[in-house]
Amino acid sequence: MRTVLVIFGSASSEHDVSCVSACSVIKNIPADKYNTVMLGITKEGKWYLYEGDVDLLPEDKWVDSGKITPAILSPDSNDRGLIVFEETGVRKIKIDVVFPVLHGRNGEDGTIQGLLELSGIPYVGCRVLSSAVCMDKAFANAMADYAGIKQAKWLSIKKSEYNKTKSEFLEKCASYLGFPIFVKPANAGSSVGISKAKDLPSLEKAIDAAFVHDSKLVFEEAIIGSEVECAVLGNDEPVASCVGEIAPCNEFYDYEAKYQADSGLFIPARLNEEKSEQVRSEAIKVYKALDCRGLSRCDFFVREDNGEVYFNEVNTIPGFTSISMYPKLFGASGVEYGELLDRLFNLAEEK
């Protein structure tokens, strides 16, 4: 049997979501095909081999379990695995494939992918450049523009520039984008730090809140319509799932609406067949344009007044919790959770 390493946690604002996702992933890895090893990263950035109950991952109960041992992923390709620092000495664990179930900074932005490239171990998901570009909303939007992919009007600014040109930039936002305006940290996931500004005072407040999470922000025109998502799987010949639709319980699909409240999910989306096929086709186009591999979830808006499809964003390590869209979409497309993971591991080794 092959040995799969699941990495979870990380020093990220999405640490808690990662732990819940990893718990779900580990429970669904086909036990007849894989041995599973768990590597946890605390909120402070400490790495541990975890050999306890997987149910302790949520709420960080694993940290105080007494089942952790300091460990690192070796960057030496001759090791191809973990180095565990035990009281009696150093132990090495060979790894065949890695699934970095890490969302946001330090997990989805190319950093851990760079370490995995050095390690020589196959890993699930996009490579370094694609991960970094997709994580940074400004770069992803620029690439989408270059590829001719329709999206909302947008602007971007760094904190240092904003501090120098605040009044001028606020006027530019209001005139070019019009209200309401979505304000987003350029590098964050799970809708962390995102606000919807309806006027100049709320725009200033939204900017201050977003700068807490990143030194670069993205501003986007609000598209009135349906928010839909499509899961994509594959390397050179990717396939798209059916389309799902989000009916947020809050004004927009923020962190609370995703993980703490009762937003509605429609699988399949409430779209006609022609429009669903257009979304699926656009998802493949985006996936290829941003050089994604393994998996990604591609998000879109379907405009209410004319039915046009607008690209929103790509998530290269989408959520894998029990309520997450990626596994749900492929489940509805006939690929059950265990089979989906098996395919992802095989795609990783194919790379």
Rg of the chain over Cα atoms, rounded to whole angstroms, equals 20
pLDDT, position 27: 98
Nearest-angstrom CA–CA distance, 28 and 22: 10
DSSP 32: T
Is the domain of 233 the same as that of 160? Answer: no
Domain-located, residue 128: no
Domain that holds residue 165: 154-221
Nearest to 255 by CA among 153, 203, 185: 185
pLDDT, position 256: 55
Q: Is 164 exposed, middle or buried (0-12, 13-18, 19+ CB in 10 A)?
A: exposed
Give the count of domains, the chain. Answer: 3
Is the domain of 272 the same as that of 165? Answer: no
pLDDT, position 192: 75
Nearest-angstrom CA–CA distance, 243 and 74: 39
21: CATH: 3.40.50.20
DSSP labels, 178-231? -SSEEEEESS--TTTT-EEE-SHHHHHHHHHHHHTT-SEEEEEEPP-EEEEEEE
pLDDT, position 13: 85
pLDDT, position 253: 47
* CA 173, chain centre distance (Å): 27
Is the domain of 144 the same as that of 163? Answer: no
Low-confidence ranges of the chain (pLDDT < 50): 253-255, 257-259
Is the domain of 195 the same as that of 278? Answer: no
136 and 213 in contact (C-beta within 8 Å)? no
Is the domain of 247 the same as that of 316? Answer: yes
Measure the CA angle with vertex 255, ends 250 and 189; round to 5°.
135
Is the domain of 26 the same as that of 173? Answer: no
Is the domain of 169 the same as that of 267? Answer: no
